[in-house]
Amino acid sequence: MSVDAELADELVAAVSTWVDRDVISQSRALEQADEFPQSMFEQMCDFGLFGATIPPEYGGLGLDAITYARVVEELSRGWMSLAGILNSHKLAVAMITRFGTPEQRSRFLPRMLDGSFRASFSLSEPDAGSDTRNIRCRAELDGGEWVINGTKMWVTNGMRSSLVMLLARTPDDRITCFAVEKAPGERSGGLTISRKIEKLGYKGLETVEMSYADHRVPHANLLGGDKGMGEGLRYALSALELGRVNIAARAVGVAQAALDAALAYSQERETFGKPIFAHQAVQFMLAEMATKLHAARLMTYDAARRYDAGERIDLEAGMAKLFASEAAYEIATDAMRIHGGYGYTTEHSVERYYRDTPLMIIGEGTNEIQKLVIARRLLERMRERG
């Protein structure tokens, strides 16, 4: 993909400036109130972020994964939840762009440009989280429509989205993906928001349970058309490679914010007559934090570049997600320790970083699952080399 480097740098710089000017100062109050950041969402729309990775022939900017990762990093440096508003939409864009029929791409992608037609991603179920093959949500063909029944969990943006990329099991016992159009809100036909799930962190955007009771979806919305029958899990896992780049980039952004806060505080806080930065123990912590952050960023950008080159990146994206998320958790913890008692209060943002980082360890496949994926892919590559 050929991308205008100047345009990419300009967009990242504009987002970074906005984060410094507006997001950082407002995010704490919104996060503590668990309030959706409507004005920030509107600014993200104005930046064109929802259409940033949509191909130009459908009206998008056609930006590459490395630019997307940089944008996500900047958003997360200000407030990680902003990247969550964007991620499920981008997963849907990737799935439709890669696997949709020409008609589906023409019908959906131009509507997904400005944020008014946002998408969510629905794979997990109460008994099918990491075990994706245990999906029980079912789709039965009735004339020219599919009738959906089942319950889905952990649907980020489920309430405000207009499109849901839904994975369901068809009568042949295969998993297929459907593009479910809905009216934003708590009910749309046979689709309801069963409940909003309260979370430790990742505040400001909804994570919901969604229930389907004889909800009808046109056959034309089966992703990939007839060729997409039984291909839903492959389509989803392919899109989740980009999702893991997103998670890794989020982790880098939160880790950067935690390191910045720790560095600043270490020069302001004095003990025994000198700033705590002057104590060797604190210097050692900061040096390790910065080194982990640098490594996490390089791994994330490497996975994004490979994605742009069209490579299979389940190994690299898994490694980046695993390392960056664990590093972010450790860096946030050390930032809290450097702040001492103040780090445990809501007066400083480090307690939010500490609450937000576990999401990256769990999201888009737990790190334990990532280790299995990495190990199996290593074996595959060894066999491929003979």
**CA separation for the pair 279, 275 (Å, rounded):** 8
**Alpha helical stretches, state H, the chain:** 5-18, 24-33, 38-47, 65-78, 80-99, 102-108, 232-268, 280-308, 314-339, 350-362, 367-384
pLDDT, one tens digit per residue, over 118-168 is 999 999 999 877 777 789 999 999 999 999 999 999 999 999 999 999 999
User: Residue 373 has what pLDDT?
Assistant: 92
Non-local (6+) Cβ contacts of 141 within 8 A are 147, 170, 171, 219
Give the pair of three-digit tokens for residue 211: 């229930």
pTM, entire model: 0.95
* CB distance 177 to 95 below 8 Å: yes
Q: Where are the domains of the chain?
A: 5-112, 119-230, 233-384
Domain 119-230: give its CATH code: 2.40.110.10
* CATH fold of 5-112: Butyryl-Coa Dehydrogenase, subunit A; domain 1 (1.10.540)
Which CATH class for the 233-384 domain? mainly alpha
Non-local (6+) Cβ contacts of 154 within 8 A are 124, 129, 197, 207
Does the annotation mark 35 as catalytic?
no
Instruction: Please pick, among 181, 231, 351, 364, the residue that the annotation labels catalytic.
Output: 364
**Residue among 104, 61, 92 at smallest CA distance from 155:** 92
Mean pLDDT of 361-367: 93
**CA separation for the pair 148, 272 (Å, rounded):** 66
User: Residue 1 has what pLDDT?
Assistant: 52
Give the pair of three-digit tokens for residue 269: 């806080």
pLDDT, one tens digit per residue, over 82-97 is 999 999 999 999 999 9
